[in-house]
Amino acid sequence: MGPPEIAGDLGKPGNDESKLISSAAPKEVPVDANDEPIPPDKSMVFQGGSFLLLLLGACYFAAEIVLPIVLAFVLMLVLQPAMRFLERWHLPRGIAALALILMLFGAVAGLGAALSGPAGEWAQKLPEGVPKLQERLSFLSRPIAAFQKFVSKAEGLRLSLRLLFWLPMLWASPRDPLHELPEPLPSVRV
């Protein structure tokens, strides 16, 4: 017994179905050497940028409202398994939530107490460690000084360019004859 035929008679040249399958294949499109991608519409790019800036501004001003909601949602996701565990012990939902909140605040307070001792010791050693840190990072002093010099020169250039462009506008007054439009010539009829 030979292998079973999967496609049936589709592969035979005289079949109508094989013509349909071969005609559905994508045809090659001639490519011109001058073909370039279509540049995006400038107004669409501007609208997208404006939308992004407005969205960021809205998020900045809504942070006071949205941040507590997001924090509550994250805490709910984190504490949900513990809440289910306490409810399986037939603890009422309110008491279970209160117990979880007390345990959360206790954990934060315990972590703060545990870290306050080493942090205090580190703060006392900080004045002694600053000279060592400066000595180890002394190789960066020359590049930092060069960068600061570059920034100060760039700031001076920016101010001089601003002055260069604004001074002629400040000197010219609205009554200056250079700002007045010339009178139109009278029309002459022939």
Tell me the per-residue pLDDT of 93-150, one tens digit each, with 9 for 90 and over. Answer: 999 999 999 999 999 999 999 999 898 888 888 888 888 888 888 888 888 889 999 8
Diameter of the chain by CA atoms?
A: 110
Query: Of the ranges 31-40, 129-138, 165-174, 175-184, which is most confident?
Result: 129-138
Tokens 């292998």 -> residue: 3
- Give residue 124's pLDDT: 87
Look up residue 158 and give its two tokens. Answer: 């920016």
- Confirm whether 166 is domain-assigned: no
Single-letter residue type at 122: W
User: Does the structure show a pLDDT above 60 at 180?
Assistant: no
Indicate yes or no: pTM above 0.75.
Answer: no
Residue 152, in any domain of the structure: no
The verdict on residue 144 lying in a domain is: no
Residue the block writes with tokens 């996701």 = 77
Asked if 38 and 44 touch (Cβ cutoff 8 Å), the reply is no
52 in a structural domain: yes
- pLDDT for 8-28, tens place per residue? 555 555 555 555 555 555 666
pLDDT digits (tens, 9 = 90+) for 60-78: 888 899 899 999 999 999 9
Distance of CA 137 to the CA centre of its chain: 32
For CA atoms 88, 91, 93, 95, give the dihedral sign.
Answer: negative
The verdict on residue 1 lying in a domain is no
Distance between CA atoms of residues 173 and 175, nearest Å:
5
Per the structure, the count of domains in the chain is: 1
Q: Residue 152: what residue type?
A: S
**Contact status, residue 21 vs residue 9, Cβ threshold 8 Å:** no
Residue 78: the pLDDT is: 93
Position 187 scores a pLDDT of 59
**What is the domain range of residue 67?**
44-126
Q: What's the one-letter identity of residue 148?
A: Q
Q: Is 113 among the domain residues?
A: yes
Q: Tell whether 150 is covered by a domain.
A: no
pLDDT of res. 185:
55
The pLDDT value given to residue 137: 83
- pLDDT-derived band at 169 (thresholds 50, 70, 90) equals low
- 96 vs 85: CA distance, rounded Å: 9
Q: Three-state SS across 144-159? A: HHHHHHHHHHHHHHHH
Higher pLDDT, 184 or 140: 140
Is there a domain that residue 67 lies in? Answer: yes
Q: Is the Cβ–Cβ distance between 82 and 100 less than 8 Å?
A: yes
Contact by Cβ (8 Å): 96, 86: yes
